[in-house]
Structure formats: C-alpha cells, structure tokens
Amino acid sequence: MSYENLCMNCMKEKGSSEQCPHCHFHNDSLQLPPFLPMRTIVGGHYLVGAVTESNGDGTTYMGYDTQTKTPVTIREFLPDTMVRRSSDSSSLLVREGSQETYYSLLSSFLELWGKLQKMNGLSALISVIDIFEENNTAYAISEYAEGAQSLRDYLLAAKEGYLPWKEARVMFMPVLSTLATLHQNGIIHRGISPSTLYIYPDHKVRISDFSIPECRMVNGGLTTEVFPGYTPVEQLGVQAASGAWTDIYSFAAVLYRVLIGRAPIDAMVRLENDEMMIPAKFADALPNHVVGALVNALQVLPEDRTRNMDRFRAELSASQVAEFASEYEEEEKARKRQKMYAPHPIGNKDDTQELKFNPLQQQALNDGYVRTHLHEEEDEEDDRPRRDHTGGTAKTILTTIMVVLLIAALLFGILYVTVLKDHFTVDPGETTTVTLSADVKVVEVPDLVGKYYAAIENSPRYSSFTFTEVEAYSDEATGKIIAQNIDAGTKVSEGTNIELTVSKGPEQITMPDVTGSTYDDANARLTALGFKVSRSDISNDGSQISGTVKSASLSAGSQHRKGTLVVLQVWDEPVTQATEPTTEDDVTEPSSEDSNFFGTLTGGTD
C-alpha cells in the first residue's frame, strides 16, 4: 500500500483524490504548529495523521502503524502553555522559565501511560500499545477501533435521547469494575463524561482520554479541561482533596444523563442551591435503589459522597451489603434529618410532574428506599381493635406477628455475626457508638489511612477522638494519612487519642552542579541521588570538549522530589567541514548592505 494514498483522517485508502471518499476529509489541509505536520513519522514506524482532540496536557492524532498495517491513536505530550515547535523541526522547544515544570509534568505523563499499559486487558480500558520519548517530548500509542463513537454522540442518535435502566445496567456496570482497578493502582481519571466514554462496535463501553491531574484541576498550571455538569467541586477550586469519589461523582452524573436524558446541574451551582430534579415518568420507572445510589454518589461535598467504587456498585445492584452498611452510616444522619421527607412519586402524576430530591436528604431516600406518607390513613385504621371470627382482636394477631418477627430478627442476627460479617465492610467514616453504662462510652476506631489529615482533624464525624500528627516522607500526596497507631475496628473509650502518620510527600533531593562534568559522571551522580536522567546532544564547533555537560534542565541547588527527570545538554563530537582553497581573486568585499545585514544578525555592525 502506498502511504501517500492513505487518508490522514480515517487511514483508509483514498486513491489519488485529495478528498477521502470514505470520510470526506480534505487531505491537502494544513496542520498548523504546534501540532505535528501530517505524514510525520514518530517512533520509527508510526505515521501521524490529523488531530482528533487536544487539551491542556497533550494532543491526540489519528495514526497508522506501518509495521502492522493498522490504524492507531497517537497521544503526544504537548502542554501548549509551556512549549512551541520549531518550524523546521519536530522537536518541542520549552519556553524560558518553564523547563523545570515541563520536565516534571513530562515525567507524570510517562508514569500515567506506563501504568495504563500494565493494565491492558481490563474490559473497559483501551489498550496501550507503545510508549516512547522523542522530539523532546513523549508519545503513547493506543489501539483504534473503527466504528467506535462517544457516548455523547450515541445518546444524541438514540431515538429517545436516554436509555432504560435495564439496558444501561448491562452497558455500564462493567465500567465500574475497571474504574475500581484503576483507583487501586493510583489512577484517578478526573474527566469522565459522555465525551470521554466510547461505545465500541461490540456495544461495550470503554474509557478514553486520560490526562495528568494538573490538566483537570483549576489552578493546576495547565489549560484546565472540565466538563460542566460532570465535574465535581473539588476540581473547580473548592479546597477539598480529590480521589476515587471524584470519579464516582462524574460517573454518577453520566449515569444520570443516560437515564434522565439531560445533564445534572453544574456542581458549583448546586453548592449554592442544592436541588436535583427527576421527571415523574423517570422516577416511576427507575428502581428505588438506583435513585438512592445516584443520590449518594452525587453529593456535592466530597466528604458526604460515596467513597469507593465497590460501594457504589453494590448500591446500584441493590446489594444487601450496601443496605447493611447504610444502616450503620446513616444512623447519625437520620437523627439530624428526621424531619426531612421525599415528595412521594406516586399519585396524580403526568409527564410534566417532577419529583424533586435534595442529595443531602438521606433520611428521605435511605439509600433508595423512599419513605412516604401514602398509607398513613390505612395504617391508622389498622391500629384500631378489630374482631376476628373467633372473637379475638386484630391486636392479638399483631402481637403474634411481632413475636415471630422478633425471633426471625434474632436468628438473622446470629447468622450475620457468624457467617455474613466477614463478607462486607462498613465505611468507618462514621463511628459506631456502644454505650456500656451511663458513664462509659466505647467507640470503634475508623480506618483513617488514605484520608487527608486536614479533612478529619476538626471534622464533627470524628469528634469521638483526638489526634496527634506525626509527619514522614512518603510517595503519597502531602497531607495524606499513611499510618495510625490504633488499628481500625478496635474498641476504645471515647476521647482516645490516635497518633496519625501524615505524609510530607516524597523526600526532596538537591540538584548538584554538574556543568563541565562528563556525561557518564553526571549521569551516575544524579542517578545515585534519585533523579531520572535524559540526554540531549548539541552541536559542537570544536571549541568544546565532546561528551561534557553544557547545562542541565534543573538549576543547581534547587530542591526536587525523587524521580524528577533531569535533561542534560551534552556537547556532541565536533563537526569538521572540508573547505576549498581560495585565491585573492575569489574573495569579494561585502557590500554595505551585506555588512548591515550581517551586523543585524550578530547584534551589531562593528
């Protein structure tokens, strides 16, 4: 196949015509800097096509693997605020003053895609084929599936514009398993939306468009990419930690869009006026446990939100595990909100009637089981004494039923303690209080590892304890709790002090001055300190010692975390050029115009 006849937009044979007969793309279109020109080769055998998507940390191109003869997707690290591309070269030039930040972010880009490549095979993840550095940047090559379309386009093309829960459940529940695995490996997507989830020809949903965290956080240093309606407040400037709950909010918002036919209200608007609305026809059709799961996952404040994907999945599945855990977690909330009730979704309803719910009103929904007043009159009537055929009263029958239920509950309690207890976990964000006497109160120690110290230090949720902070270096984010001196689940007296080891972030190392050293010596020295080293050769006119370091991307004496990438500029071998001997007749004096031009280039006319 002649690659000249490939369409750069769909990588199909287009023939001699510049307009593709398949996708109608005009192949004589120009791809302006800083994007790579179409038909550039990277990695030795990947043909670069048209730009398909670009955001704060990079650009995605349609691509073609000339070895396997298959279309691919090419992702180039290209933070537009920090770089430009030379007009006569594919290499990126980093703007003055941005070198340190650029190479730190480049290291994050390589780390992210390296982790994703190790998880190839997850059902809802697009496979990463190759990762390499080139052109003073990095590239990630991923599989391409013809016929795949974004969830946004899929829903717009749907007849109703939304999907029933029965269909959505089959499509989206597997995605939760993949997200849970990503979270366990330290990857938070932070950009889940109908535009970043793709429906493949096999009708399965896959996650795409991964970016480094700085790209999807306000004030992250890059052009921020957010998705209105799907981005939670912790990504929009509200001082709160992001984590698994960040993706849970976004995924729940996507599911809301899929089931209801419209995006949720923007998170910052909800922060001021937190009211969600579900049209009555959807409220009637959706199972109560699904509504409850969405409510819990769409809490505006991160600390009130469902904390992990396993729990979210259990709630969507109406799992008894989630129901039992909710009883523990909602005990305190129920007391505080016992006067709040959900409007009843049944009654005189039509297509215009709407069911309103506030995600903070957990008592009203109780994880999906709606409390209503529909049968109040009937219940009151049932409480009155009634005669049965033998002359007894309904009250006697009711007493018998209560005894039977009490025995059943006791048997279930024994079964739970002996068999079921180890098969589910209760989120220790709320403490379970057991009163032993009028004067002694015992509380259960929660699992605080992985939480941020600032979030629990003065939180009323943990008012049963006092805390002592001990700082230590670790690879975890600064402020995250990495250890506690009392194990979770331990019963202690109220007011017990828990010593928490809090991460100071990775250990900082000092950049030495390696200018003038040989590359091998500088490389060994920096590697021993914990830096990653990359080499960039520069031309040598013969006046410099080849193989020595001209400069480094990090300034001497500056502090950096272990693993930071250092790029060393190294003098290359001298280039010698043969010259022809000249005679005086061959030498011509430069004209005044030439002299002025030469002087302009060199900064003067002397």
Average pLDDT, rounded, for the chain: 79
595 pLDDT band (50/70/90 cuts)?
A: very low
391 vs 478, which has greater pLDDT? Answer: 478
Q: Would you state the pLDDT for residue 54?
A: 93
Residue 59: what pLDDT? 97
Q: How far apart are CA 527 and CA 529, in angstroms?
A: 5
pLDDT bin (cut points 50, 70, 90) of residue 594 is: very low
DSSP string, 403-439: HHHHHHHHHHHHHIIIIIGGG----TTSPPEEE-SSS
Could you write out the three-class secondary structure of 362-391?
Answer: HHHHCCCCCCCCCCHHHHHHHCCCCECCCC
pLDDT band at 4 (very low <50, low <70, confident <90, very high): confident
Nearest Cα residue to 117 out of 129, 135, 102, 132: 129
Residues sharing a CB contact under 8 Å with residue 30, sequence separation 6 or more, in sequence order: none
Q: Which residue has the higher pLDDT, 104 or 403?
A: 104
Candidate from 19-28, 40-49, 451-460 with smallest mean pLDDT: 451-460
Q: Please give the Cα distance from 468 to 516 (Å, whole number).
A: 48
Q: For residue range 347-374, list pLDDT tens digits in order.
A: 333 333 334 444 433 333 443 333 222 2
pLDDT at 409 over 80: no
Vertex 578: Cα angle to 573 and 579 (nearest 5):
135
Question: Is the fold of 8-143 the same as that of 433-503?
Answer: no
CA atoms of 89 and 60, how far apart (whole Å): 19
Q: Which class for 243: exposed (0-12), middle (13-18), buried (19 or more C-beta within 10 A)?
A: buried
Q: Where are the alpha helices (DSSP H) in 65-210?
A: 99-118, 151-157, 165-184
Asked whether residue 187 carries a pLDDT value surpassing 70, the answer given is yes
Q: Would you say 277 and 137 are in contact if contact means Cβ atoms under 8 Å apart? A: no
Instruction: Give the best-scoring range by mean pLDDT among 108-112, 420-424, 558-562.
Output: 108-112
> What contacts 97, CB < 8 A, 6 or more positions away?
none
Nearest to 535 by CA among 512, 568, 508: 568
In words, the CATH class of domain 8-143 is: alpha beta
Say what the pLDDT of residue 536 is.
83
Range with lowest mean pLDDT among 49-63, 93-107, 161-175, 500-514: 500-514
- What is d(CA 101, CA 232) in angstroms, rounded to the nearest whole number? 26
- Determine how β-strand 508-510 pairs with β-strand 559-561: antiparallel
Using CA atoms, how far apart are residues 511 and 553, in angstroms rounded to an integer? 10
Q: Which residue has the higher pLDDT, 457 or 408?
A: 457
> What is the C-alpha to C-alpha distance for residues 466 and 458, in angstroms, rounded to an integer?
9
Residue 328 corresponds to which tokens in the numbers above?
Answer: 């523990």
Band of the pLDDT at 428, cuts 50, 70, 90?
very low
- pLDDT of 605 above 50: no
Q: Which residue has the tokens 């031309």?
A: 539
Query: Cα dihedral angle (212, 203, 319, 430), rounded to 10 degrees?
Result: 10
DSSP state of 544: S
Which pLDDT score is estimated for 411?
60
Q: Burial level of 422, CB count in 10 A (0-12/13-18/19+)?
A: exposed
pLDDT tens, position by position, 262-284: 988 999 988 888 777 777 788 88
For residue 395, pLDDT beyond 80: no
Does an H or E element contain 129, and which? strand 128-134
Into which CATH architecture does domain 433-503 fall?
2-Layer Sandwich (3.30)
Residue 557 confidence (pLDDT): 84
What percentage of the chain has pLDDT greater than the value 90?
51
Confidence of residue 474 (pLDDT cuts 50, 70, 90): confident
User: Could you identify the residue written with the tokens 């729940």?
Assistant: 252
230, 232, 182: which is closest to 207 by C-alpha?
Answer: 182
Distance CA 29, CA 19 (A): 10
Question: What are 125-142's pLDDT values in tens digits?
Answer: 999 999 999 999 999 999
Widest distance between CA atoms in the chain: 138
Q: Which residues pair with 19 in a beta bridge?
A: 26
For the packed helices 320-336 and 309-316, what is the interaxial angle rounded to 10 degrees?
100
pLDDT of amino acid 92:
95
pLDDT at 421 (0 to 100): 38
Contact 29, 14 (CB under 8 A): no
Residues making up the chain, counted from first to last: 606
State the average pLDDT over residues 505-531: 90
Work out the pLDDT band at 175, boundaries 50, 70, 90.
very high
pLDDT in tens, 62-117: 999 999 999 999 999 999 889 999 877 899 999 999 999 999 999 999 999 999 99
What residue type is 44 in one-letter code?
A: G
Write down the pLDDT at residue 584.
Answer: 45
- Least confident segment among 15-29, 125-139, 177-191: 15-29
In sequence order, which residues have a C-beta less than 8 Å from that of residue 187 and are 6 or more positions away? Answer: 112, 115, 116, 210
**Whole-angstrom Cα distance, residue 593 to residue 192?**
61
- pLDDT the model gives residue 30: 86
- For 545-562, letters b (16+ CB in 10 Å) and e give eebbbeebbbeeeeebbe
Terminal CA-CA length for the chain? 58
Best CA proximity match to 190, nearest among 155, 215, 157 = 215
**What CATH number was assigned to the domain covering residues 508-571?**
3.30.10.20
Instruction: Name which residue leads in pLDDT, 88 or 188.
Output: 188
Backbone angles phi, psi at 236, to 5 degrees: -110, 15
> What pLDDT does residue 376 have?
29
Identify which has the larger pLDDT, 520 or 583. Answer: 520
**Which structure tokens are listed for 164?**
């029933």
pLDDT tens digits for 254-264? 999 999 999 88
More confident residue, 506 or 482: 482
> What's the pTM value of the predicted model, to 2 decimals?
0.57
Q: What pLDDT sits at residue 542?
A: 86
* Residues in a beta bridge with 128: 142
Q: What's residue 155's pLDDT?
A: 94
CB 321 within 8 A of CB 424: yes
CATH topology of domain 149-365: Transferase(Phosphotransferase); domain 1 (1.10.510)
Name the residue ranges covered by the structural domains of the chain: 8-143, 149-365, 433-503, 508-571
